[in-house]
Amino acid sequence: MTRILLIGGQGQVGWALQRALAPLGDVTAPPRLGAPGLALDLLQPATLDEAMQRLQPDVIVNASAWNAVDAAESDPAPAFALNADAPARLAQAAAERNALLVHFSTDQVLPGLGDQPQDEDTPPAPLNAYGRSKLAGERAIQASGCRHLILRTTWVHSPRRTNFLRAMLARAAVADRLQVVDDEVGCPTAADGLADATAHAVRAVRAQPRLGGLYHCVDAGAVSRFDYVRHLLTEARQLGMPLRTRPDDVVPVSSAYFAAPAARPLNARLDARRFEATFGLRMSPWQDGVRRTLQALARS
Ligand SMILES: NC(=O)c1ccc[n+]([C@@H]2O[C@H](COP(=O)([O-])OP(=O)(O)OC[C@H]3O[C@@H](n4cnc5c(N)ncnc54)[C@H](OP(=O)(O)O)[C@@H]3O)[C@@H](O)[C@H]2O)c1
């Protein structure tokens, strides 16, 4: 039976992976905090060594990340510790026991030029410290020589934790109008679909190691944040969610208007065709994933 160590199993993607990876083998998802010998905190390397000894995993799935994009501009050290140094240690641990390392990255390693979906050959050039830390993590894994699957994704949403979708719904519940940027375009990607696609790819790479490598994995289609929010509010109202803001009360503004500390790529479209062709999969339209997340939120 395949032994799978899942790190970050309480996060958006990690939680969905707990379900999606279950048919592949024995999944152990240690909490970050907890009793000595059971918890795994990537910032305490001894806990990784202990987990590797205890679990002897065939597959290590890293769904952890430091995602505080704006905070990383003034204090990049935590982002580099978790997004670059920790993946480097995981890669070393994976190489030592010939395990497969599965890792997630982001469109923010790319500059986001143009208005077309960006494929895996697009030269990286991060605009912010978070992107630089994630790129350093990718490169450490690639340089380690370990078997790996790196999946870059973007605009992840799920009924759990904090994400753009939930933040917009929370604001729409109390505000009469919302200002939303209309010059950032990306691919809203549901954590559950991403997890399912990941599990299929893991199975394929286990069977055919040559399929490993770096891929873009996002839901199909693309939308500006402004149109995304209008879509969200329309669907959420149909599901009976009590929202003050109506879709017509969403006001477009440019990203410069908010002057966030970290610059974001204006083009967050990723091209998932190489992933789909390699693994014989089709990513579902972003609207389907959004509907699932909204339905789960409406039920709760
Ligand atoms: N969210 C997005 O829009 C987005 C976009 C592009 C790429 N990604 C990538 O997708 C992956 C998953 O992101 P996500 O949105 O699922 O993240 P998330 O919801 O923020 O979850 C992150 C997880 O990492 C864990 N973690 C934090 N510090 C840790 C440490 N020191 N040791 C071990 N675990 C630690 C957290 O543990 P606790 O549960 O204890 O807090 C949490 O379970 C990441 O690689 C991220 O960069 C995300």
Q: Is the CB of 273 under 6 A from ligand 1?
A: no
Nearest to 32, CA basis, from 18, 24, 45, 42: 42
pLDDT band, residue 88 (cuts 50/70/90): very high
Ligand 1 centroid distance, CA of 286 (Å) = 21
Give the model's pLDDT for residue 105: 98
**Residue 115 in domain:** yes
Decide whether any atom of ligand 1 lies within 6 Å of the 201 Cβ.
no
Contact 203, 279 (CB under 8 A): no
The domain that holds 40 is classified in CATH as 3.40.50.720
Q: Is residue 60 part of a domain?
A: yes
What tens digit of pLDDT does each residue of 113-140 get?
999 999 999 999 999 999 999 999 999 9
What average pLDDT does this structure show over 216-231? 98
Predicted confidence at residue 298, as pLDDT, reads: 94
How would residue 37 be classed by pLDDT, with cut points 50, 70 and 90? confident
Q: With respect to residue 257, please indicate whether it lies within any of the assigned structural domains.
A: no
Count Cβ atoms below 10 Å from residue 54 Cβ, excluding itself: 13
Statement: the pTM of the whole predicted model exceeds 0.95: yes
Q: Which domain holds residue 25?
A: 2-163+189-220+270-283
Q: How confident is the model at residue 259 (pLDDT cuts 50, 70, 90)?
A: confident
pLDDT given at position 35 = 81
Please give the helix or strand (H or E) that residue 13 lies within, else none: helix 12-21
Task: Confirm or reject: Cβ of 41 under 6 Å from ligand 1.
Answer: yes
Residue 74 C-alpha from the chain's centroid: 23
Q: What is the mean pLDDT of residues 145-156?
A: 98
**Structure tokens that stand for 283 in this block:** 């990513």
Ligand 1 centroid to 8 CA: how many Å? 6
pLDDT beyond 90 at 53: yes
Q: Is 120 part of any domain? A: yes
Mean pLDDT throughout 45-58?
96
Q: Which atom of ligand 1 lies nearest, measured to the CA of 107?
A: 6
Q: Which residue has the tokens 């979906």?
A: 117
> What mean pLDDT is predicted for residues 220-224?
98
Q: What mean pLDDT comes out for the span 284-291?
A: 98
Residue 186 beta carbon below 6 angstroms from any ligand 1 atom: no
Asked, for residue 74, whether it belongs to a domain, the answer is yes
83 near 134, Cβ under 8 Å?
Answer: yes
240 within domain boundaries: no
Asked if the structure places residue 259 within a domain, the reply is: no
The total of structural domains in the chain comes to 1
**257 annotated active-site:** no
pLDDT of 264 reads 93
Angle, CA of 140, 128 and 94, to the nearest 5°:
20
What is the model's pLDDT at position 229? 98
Residue 83 inside a domain? The answer is: yes
Query: Is the model's pLDDT at 175 over the cut of 90?
Result: yes
